[in-house]
Amino acid sequence: MNFVLCSYYTFDTPYREEIRNLILSVKDMPLQTYFKGIENRGSWEANTHYKAQFIKEMMDRYPEKAIVYVDADAVVRKYPALFDTIPPCDLAAYFRDWRFAKNELLSGTLYVGNTEAARNLIDLWIKKNGENPGVWEQKNLHSVIALLDGDLRISKLPVEYCCIYDSVERKAGCQPVIEHFQRSRRYRKAINAR
């Protein structure tokens, strides 16, 4: 296995409970995993912006492995075999076409190759998040990818690897490998009100 599946959560938010479902979902799978709790950074946006920094920390901790990041409010339904055979790339993500956006990068599941180009991408993502604290981290990531066009090897993950539980795809029969529950719809305002 050439990857580590990892996630983080905030201690004093409902995500502390959510990550338990993720941990239980991978407990019996032959996966190397790493889960980390962090202090609440004061807002949902600031907490999610930490994603880029966390991935950088994981790249440093596991320099010989690719990093598979999964949001804390997801579960792994089946062993993610695609990550064992994915062609060499710097980043793999699911890009969704739907009524609100075309080719929208979803950052709930990310495969990050531990490459120089990927490290540069993550550093630029951290910088972009700092410059744009009110912009969703996945939009910041997508804009950095656009800036680096041609300098990155990007792969597109199938919907099964970032399947939203109530999406059109799920209702049409998507059998998720990694299913996301979008708890931000429920928790964002409460976290921001603290």
Q: So what's the pLDDT on residue 54? A: 98
User: What pLDDT shows up at residue 119?
Assistant: 97
Q: Report the sign of the C-alpha dihedral through residues 54, 108, 92, 139, in that order.
A: negative
pLDDT tens per residue across span 135-164: 999 999 999 999 987 789 999 999 999 988
Among residues 78, 72, 70, which one has the least CA distance to residue 21?
72
Q: Is the pLDDT of residue 187 over 50?
A: no
Q: What is the mean pLDDT of the chain?
A: 88
For position 40, what pLDDT does the model report? 87
Tokens read off for 87: 């062609």
The pLDDT of residue 1: 62
Provide the 8-state DSSP code for 12.
T
In the structure, what pLDDT confidence band is assigned to residue 166 with cuts at 50, 70 and 90? low
Which residue carries 């999964």 as its tokens?
A: 70
Confidence of residue 193 (pLDDT cuts 50, 70, 90): very low
Please report the sign of the dihedral spanned by the C-alpha atoms of residue 181, residue 87, residue 141, residue 51: positive
Amino acid at 167: S
* Structural domains of the chain, with CATH: 3-192 (3.90.550.10)
